[in-house]
Structure 1
Amino acid sequence: MKPAPELTAFVDHYWIVTWDLRGQSPYEQQVLPHPAVNMTFKAGRCRIAGVPQGRFSEVLQDAGRVFGVRFQPGGFRPFLGAPISTITDRFLALDEVFGAAGRHLEDAVIAADDPAAVALTDGFLATRAPRHPDPAAELVAAIIAHSATDPGVTRVDELAGRFGIGVRQMQRLFADYAGVSPKWVIRRHRLHEAAARATGETDLDLARLAADLGYSDQAHLTRDFADMVGLPPFRYARAQ
């Protein structure tokens, strides 16, 4: 679900996960993170999640619902008021950023149905968002979007050159607005690409996939993929 028009520079989308596993065993959901901050609302646990650099999993059990806000890369910077790298691999309570108003939002969103939760969060963030987007945040978002959509991008210097900036300048911008390095972002996007191409494949050409994604060999891709996803590519493809 998309945010209100005045929030599109800051919020990518709202997402909702529901499950009902009553009478069944808990299920561990593996998540391949994106370079974005999320704010999540779950009964008994509402929080702001900085970008996790390693593998992330969530155990689902009984029945439940999570309402989430995925911010644009760099989009949470004005709300945090500090470099996004300060919350990388960390979780914050909403009141650590928004004070008592954050606790009130938690209660309201948990009690609301999905459309009302979107409206509540739209209104809450709109009153706190800057009137004018930050050009530096827009640049970081554009660079990250380019990395995501062009699988041919495999090197930091190549990505910086396409936007006419230096590598060190891009590294500083990413630390401030994205919370992770350009190298991490490129590698993560290539792993997302590998996971997408492995899904449903019955005859995965791992050597070709590694070459397409800029890896020196298939062993390197296999190590990266297993570290992040929890399974090597062939086992992941079979599981899908």
Structure 2
Amino acid sequence: MLTYVIPPLPHLSDLIMHLLVVDLDDGVSLLPASLCPSLMLFVRGSAQIVNDDGSRTESHRFFLRGPFLSPTRVTYEPGTISLSVCLKPGMLQQTLGISAASVTGSSIRMDELISNEKTDALLHAIEEVNARYDGRISATHAHELSTLFQRFLLNNLHHKKNNHLGAAFLAARQKLFFPLADLSDYFGIGQRQLERRVRETFGVTLRDVRRIARFGLCLPLIVDQSLSWGDLTRVAHESGYYDQAHMHREFVELVGIPPMQLLQKIASSDPAYWIFRLSNTEFRQLFIPVE
């Protein structure tokens, strides 16, 4: 598995996280639940989403993936290379003019958001770049693809600076799990207004924002160190869980398996869990929108 993590251009750094270019030749991925909408592009090859009943749905080549509250299993055609990037909280409405709630648990083709002419031009340029490279992805190939992709974003996303709840909400992560009354006092707005604005910003309820934020803060602690069963109690408390049983339950909901089993999968050769083998720094740069 070859992966390249590439920082955003300065003019895009308020809108997006780091970009990920990855050679998916191993054929399968387990994607955990996520608050962040993401832009996904298959540079080569294709993918199928594995549904709960075992059936498969062909993925679009270039699409916006909304927030997801449950894990997703994806299989890939041999030789597939993907390029993806997460939008920062609150940026979907600003950059593409649609609410996170409208795409939660689903995806939408990019040519439905940006003109077919512009998306086709990007895909044509990518094919021209691909024609100069054979075999597995290289650093030079990955950075050339990233440059094309980010130029497309600069030309087509609205990046006017704007105050929004998303960044402020996650920046106040120490207060994120306060009672609703205390949280609304902190932001200086009513409880119902806060809940409505959270839904508009993240596409999910305040409860689900807390669940996935807690999970996201916990994951780097889990995957970056050798833990025993007893260590999980400490990690649970540090991450805002009531206890180890609480963490166990939410991991099953959001990644499909409990923490100790996830550690075993990471340590194994199971290719589906490659995303959890990224370094702590890379994982945060790609998926965790708070320091």
Shorter-normalised TM range: 0.7 to 0.9
* TM-score of the aligned structures, taking structure 1 as reference length: 0.81
Are residues 1:170 and 2:194 paired? yes
CA contact 2:70–2:255 (8 Å) conserved in 1:
no
> Cα distance, 1:35 vs. partner?
1.6
> Cα distance, 1:217 vs. partner?
4.2
Which one-letter code corresponds to 2:15 in the other structure? F
Which one-letter code corresponds to 1:73 in the other structure? P
Structure 1 partner of 2:89:
73
Higher normalized contact order (CA 8 Å, seq sep 6+, divided by chain length): 2
Structure 1 partner of 2:228:
202
The verdict on how the C-alpha distance between 1:190 and 1:49 changes in structure 2, with shifts beyond 3 A counting, is same
The verdict on how the C-alpha distance between 1:123 and 1:237 changes in structure 2, with shifts beyond 3 A counting, is closer
| 204-213 vs 35-44, greater mean Cα deviation | 204-213
Are residues 1:115 and 2:164 paired? no
Q: Could you tell me which of 164, 169, 188 is aligned with 1:143?
A: 169
Identity of aligned residues (%): 23
Per-residue CA deviations over 1:64-105 (Å, capped at 9, x if unaligned) read: 210112211121213332222111111111111002112322
Per-residue CA deviations over 1:119-178 (Å, capped at 9, x if unaligned) read: 222222222343531212xx312212433xx4x742462444443333322322232232
Q: Could you tell me which of 227, 235, 238 is aligned with 2:261?
A: 235
Structure 1 partner of 2:215:
191
| 222-231 vs 195-204, greater mean Cα deviation | 195-204
Structure 2 partner of 1:38:
38
- 1:131 & 1:87 partners in 2: Cα distance? 20
CA contact 1:38–1:68 (8 Å) conserved in 2:
yes
- 1:225 & 1:189 partners in 2: Cα distance? 12
Structure 1 partner of 2:11:
6
Structure 1 partner of 2:111:
95
Which one-letter code corresponds to 1:192 in the other structure? G
Count residues in correspondence: 230
Gaps of 5+ in 2: 1-5, 47-60, 130-140, 267-291
CA contact 2:8–2:17 (8 Å) conserved in 1:
yes
Gaps of 5+ in 1: none
CA contact 1:85–1:178 (8 Å) conserved in 2:
yes
- 1:192 & 1:117 partners in 2: Cα distance? 28
CA contact 1:198–1:204 (8 Å) conserved in 2:
no
Partner secondary structure for residue 156 of structure 2: coil
CA RMSD of aligned residues (A): 2.6
Which one-letter code corresponds to 2:152 in the other structure? F
- 2:260 & 2:147 partners in 1: Cα distance? 43
- 2:124 & 2:189 partners in 1: Cα distance? 44
* TM-score of the aligned structures, taking structure 2 as reference length: 0.69
